[in-house]
Amino acid sequence: MNSTPQRHTRTRLPVEKPAKSQPVESLLNASIAFLKRYPPFDEMDDSPLRFMAGHLGLAYYPAGSVIVAPEAGPVRQLYIVQRGLVQLQPAEGYHVSDGDIVTLGPGECFSVYALMEKRAVGSPYTAAEDTFCYQLPAAIFNELLSRSARFQEFSLHYLRSLLQESRRLIKMHSVSNAAEQQAMSRALRDLIQRSPITCTADTPLDTALRQMQQARIGSIVVIDDAMQPVGIFTRHDVLERVTLAGQPLSAAVSTVMTPDPVTLPAEASAYQAALLIAARGIRHVPVTDNGKLIGVVTERDLFAVQRVSVRGINRTIEQARDANTLTQAGRDIQALARTLLAQGVAAEQLTQLITTLNDALARRVITFILGQHNLQDIHWCWLTFGSEGRLEQTISTDQDNGLIFAADNEAEAADLKARLLPFAAAVNQLLDRCGFPLCKGDIMAGNPHWCMSEDAWRKQFHDWVRNTDPGALLNGVIFFDFRALAGEDALATRLQAFLHELTTQNTRFVRQLAQYALEAKPPLGLLSDFVTENDASGGEFIDLKKSGARLFVDAARVFALSCGIGHTNTAQRLTHAGTAIKMPSDEIVAAVDAFFFIQQLRLRTQLGSNVHEYANRIYPGTLHEIDRRILKESLRQARKLQSRLSLDFQL
């Protein structure tokens, strides 16, 4: 195809003249009405939006014509598709098929980054059908950046801006009461309700307790001369540390306080405080500014209006003495996730919080079952794989786990396995009752194949890495994202060190993983937005796990292994490995944001689905226009990652 831009018809919408004819004014208003249907124009003030509309040109491009190409030099205008379809082919050097061509529809912009950087576009944009595009001259584009903060934000952070808009819509359309809308991204500084109640380490207990009673608070922070927290004493400590211990009220508070309390800086988010409460099972978080105490944020501050709270769930888990209570805790985790999702909490925060609570529940299940078995003489560790191993659990997730144990020889290993298997199977069954379905592939600790000695696990990983069979490769990607959940962490740590050494020495295996990562293609259509599957009733859907999240997870794993990055979390892998391979920072940020948007869609879908098998299905036709657009952009980011993989590994 000839890449030289072809001639086209263009008209200017005159504006800012003393008088306008009725047809011109009507045309101007029509342009404004069109723009207001799409971000960021829907949030721009009337004055800059009218300024912009008055300087738009409207150009017609017949099917097959080139709109703008690299050889044309620095772009001179912003393009906004008004009608029709525009295609962008990946840059030269990327090995892709026709199905990998990017398509842009009405309301979508192009040449934004090229305009910002005063350069040519990287690839030609062509009209896939008869197309009309609004054109905004570069000079007006630059003027608009100064006139509209919203437009500037959009231009500088294109994908992130769309993601923020999506979260705003989630909150706006939430059925939750307005009083329940907690801004989990707010800084802790903004949540502090009062000046902190403090005392020094030598303060008598009766004085400290009187201060707490008068202030009607549940804790007092012990500080040094520099206002730095050195301890904390709570109402919860009184019974065990004072009354039952027979501690005289004249004793110094330092004898009963919790020393070196966990603190957070004033600029930390409410989400970080919630995650800390979930992980540590605490009620009060001292907040500091440059090391000095400025206040205390409590669980009540974070979740006062919620029926189910992080601490409440933790308390239920900690105090559970029967399977029914643990099962209820599993339901409570889902209820909390539903509430936070409706409040617009981001997927990165929500998946980590879900994983943290699920970890606590799974550990309590393991401890509960452990009490029914005589295993005190065995050194073992419960391993978790897949999404839980990556700290990326969503609501609808089945079990992927295993057991590793220490044994001096094969005979001892066989004996220990026979003792551990009934325990592991019982844990799997109770986890199933708590909302973690049994793995259809039987990747569970109760399966003899995945309850092995340390030496056996090493041999298994060695075989997977050295084996060229595709089936072995599939097993590799399932098991490579593991971490310790309960038992003796050292067993998992040694296995991770062994695996790291094994993979960094085997470039062939990493290249095979890259090939595997490229097998699943982003479901983007050539002439339509998406490539979909059909359900039994003919509905068109996309599986956001296998055709969305997997694309990022697989690519990030390859980049991390090729760079010797030890992280298992996808966002951390992309960030650290991306830096190591010199990916542009904005490209790394866009990839991470895209991954988390797809996770957000998965969470929303799962919370609305009662069928586990369908929990990752999204029906594009039901999405809000903004979410459709972000999903397209997110899948394009996955395509860019795959293109980089293809280029780096010459695939």
In order, the DSSP letters of 550-564 are HHHHHHHHHHHHHHT
Residues 6+ apart with CB under 8 A from 582: none
Q: What is the largest CA-CA distance in the chain?
A: 96
Q: Are 231 and 258 in contact (CB under 8 A)?
A: yes
**Separation between Cα atoms, residue 346 and residue 463, nearest integer Å:** 39
Q: Is residue 75 part of a domain?
A: yes
Q: Is residue 220 part of a domain?
A: yes
Say whether pLDDT at 312 is over 70. Answer: yes
Give the pLDDT of residue 92.
Answer: 46
Say whether pLDDT at 233 is over 60. Answer: yes
Q: Which range of residues forms the domain containing residue 540?
A: 516-648
**Separation between Cα atoms, residue 354 and residue 310, nearest integer Å:** 10
Residues 552 and 463 reside in one and the same domain: no
Q: Which of 136, 156, 176 is the last residue of a domain?
A: 156
Give the pLDDT of residue 463.
Answer: 87
The CATH number linked to 105 is: 2.60.120.10
Residues 147 and 255 reside in one and the same domain: no
Closest among 85, 144, 133, 94 to 111, alpha carbons compared:
133
The CATH number linked to 363 is: 3.30.460.10
Q: DSSP secondary-structure letter at 319?
A: H
Residues 127 and 64 reside in one and the same domain: yes
Top-confidence residue, 12 or 190: 190
Does this model's pTM top 0.85? My answer is: no
Residues 146 and 195 reside in one and the same domain: no
Q: In the chain, how many domains are there? A: 4
Q: Are 338 and 607 in contact (CB under 8 A)?
A: yes
CA distances from 82 to 218, 443, 616 (A): 60, 51, 33
Give residue-wise pLDDT tens across range 341-355.
766 677 777 888 888
The token pair at 514 is 């890259």
Binned at pLDDT 50, 70 and 90, residue 613 comes out as low
Say whether pLDDT at 163 is over 80. Answer: no
Q: Is residue 331 part of a domain?
A: no
Q: What is the DSSP string of 393-436?
A: --SS----EEEEE--SSHHHHHHHHHHHHHHHHHHHHHHHHTT-
Top-confidence residue, 58 or 388: 58
**Separation between Cα atoms, residue 333 and residue 308, nearest integer Å:** 8
Q: Are 134 and 127 in contact (CB under 8 A)?
A: no
Residues 367 and 430 reside in one and the same domain: yes
**Separation between Cα atoms, residue 627 and residue 530, nearest integer Å:** 13
Q: Is residue 340 part of a domain?
A: no
Q: Is residue 321 part of a domain?
A: no
